[in-house]
Chain A
Amino acid sequence: MRRNSKEFIRGIKAGLPIGAGYFPIAVAYGALAMEAGLGIRDASLMSLIVFAGASQFMAAGMFIAGAGGLQIIATTFFVNLRHLIMSLSVHHKLEPTGLGLRALVSFGVTDETFAFLTLQTEGETSKINPYFTIGLNTAAYVGWNLGTLLGCFSAQIIPAEISTAMTFGLYALFIGLLMPSVRRSRVAVVVAGASMILNTLFCLVLDTGWAMVLATIAGAAIGTAVSEGEA
């Protein structure tokens, strides 16, 4: 018991940089979600129960674009499906533990907590304590949700002329998320470029939401085919 609470606190400390990193991004999410027409309740509920940054911004973007519910859910599904693989490696490194704790650890799997848990402990043969993992996830979770609340409230004091320009902050976020990968990998360039072209074409015949879903699936598949050819 003593050991578990110690591990939990050690996890929180290790997770503070992640939570601090999430905070300003969550402020931006909160403000944009309000701009997308979600109230404080729905905007913060999304951070509380979905807890997946990129997909939350995408959902806000799709709300603004007027996409339907099923389309938003479908995009969220495909975008967050990568957490399946991440969760797999996290659980692989985890000390054997009960179902409840495993379910809790699973909830906190994000790109950043995954990267920390698998990269920081790379080469170490010892397994990770589940309480440490939950502490780490908690720090990230608290940072994300506090930021969301602040963003929701700050949205109300942003002047109207700026707030129409704020949707461009959303595009800037998407560009900012994409650029590091585009610099690093040719596949990312092909994938993003292909889905931009496909989405533009699909938009001519389909409504915005389904065009995005299809362009996402097909764009990713084109990139996979290209990288298969290289290997």
Chain B
Amino acid sequence: MSRTYILRRVLIAIPSLLGISLVLYTVLALAPGDPFGELVTNPNVPPEVRIALREKFGLDDPVWIRYVRWLSAMLQGDWGFSFVSRMDVDDLILQRLPTTVAVIGAAQLLAITVAIPIGVLAATRPYSVFDQIANTLAFVGFSLPTFFTGLLLILIFSVQLDWLPFVYRSDVQATGWKWWWEQFRQSIMPVTVLGLFQGAALVRYVRSSVLDVIKLDYVTTARSKGIGEPKVITKHVVRNALIPVVTLVALQLPVVFGGAIVTEQIFRIPGIGSLLISAILANDTPVIMGVTFVFSCLVVAFNLIADIIYGWLDPRIAFR
């Protein structure tokens, strides 16, 4: 794994990010609607105001001029200015990023802690009752979309049982343990929804990967040397089986961000996903560009990370 390799990968990422931004901008420009639609139906707002606003935000210029302007500002670190909130886009995104990262991080953690033991156990006893149940649940888990399981959980735990709140608050009024407890209570449903959705798919990967490894000769060798089964599994099987899984987790993270958009909307989590949705509904181009740009950076970055980790874990396939 050389430094030049990483450098080259980073350099390749630049044109792809540029391409993504160009396509996004064109699609947004082609899409109908404008950010001041709400003013149109309000008879109290004189049409001059609307025209002045369009001019002020440069909406009447040709698309390519707007794109070049956006791009050159972006290159100088200026993310633009939200039409709707009249504040800087990077502030808006930074305000919301921590929540998204926390929720997604927790969900991913939950997915891994659930998926690995279940996947390994299922693979060590293939076609046993446990394996059958785990498989069925995994299929159900990744077949049910998050917007469905989310509503289902709300219906059960908030409406019927009245145990958990279904509106996520970013300003929990408490300190110390109480704060953590409130955070925990309000995060548990969104994290479960996202985590189990991810975990279900992961179970399948872990199981098949462990099944592949467990049949290999060196495992048989280890067993015949008289090493105890637990040690064989943890030290010899899982370690090797997890190599492709780690890559998959890294590659899937951007997908998780996508799934988070829906979950954030359902539970009113103030993350960048719900920001994206409201920006799209309001035709707030700079914010849409900003958020999608963050997402594309994540995709590119995690692809890179996956490649690097894979090479590091398995030197045989590392790029030399």
Q: Do A and B form a real pair?
A: no
Name A's B-contacting residues (CB within 8 A).
none
- Chain B interface residues (CB < 8 Å from chain A): none
